[in-house]
Structure 1
Amino acid sequence: MSAKIYHNPRCTKSRLTLSILEEKGVDFEVIKYLENTPTVEELKALIKDLDINARALMRTHEAPYKDNNLADESLSEGDLIQAMIGNPILIERPIVKTNKGTVIGRPPENVLAII
Structure 2
Amino acid sequence: MIEVYHNPRCGKSRNCLAFLDNANQKYKIIKYLEEAPNYEELSALIEKLNLKPIELIRQKEKIWIDHFKNQQMTDEAIIKVMVENPILIERPIIIKGNKAIIAREADKIEAFFQDL
Report the TM-score when normalising by structure 1: 0.91
2 CA distance for matches of 1:12 and 1:44? 26
Q: Which amino acid letter does the alignment assign opposite residue 57 of structure 2?
A: M
Per-residue CA deviation, residues 17-55 of structure 1 (Å, 9 max, x unaligned), is: 111111111110000110010111111111111111110
Q: Which runs of 5+ in 2 are unaligned?
A: none
Q: Contact between 2:48 and 2:98, CA under 8 Å: does it hold in 1?
A: no
1 CA distance for matches of 2:37 and 2:9? 18
Q: Kindly, what percent of the aligned residue pairs are identical?
A: 37
Deviation at 1:100, TM superposition (A): 6.9
Q: Which amino acid letter does the alignment assign opposite residue 33 of structure 1?
A: Y
Match of 1:48 in 2: 47
Report the TM-score when normalising by structure 2: 0.90
RMSD: 1.3
1 CA distance for matches of 2:5 and 2:68? 25
Match of 2:94 in 1: 96
2 CA distance for matches of 1:100 and 1:77? 21
Deviation at 1:60, TM superposition (A): 0.2
Size of the aligned set, in residue pairs, is 113
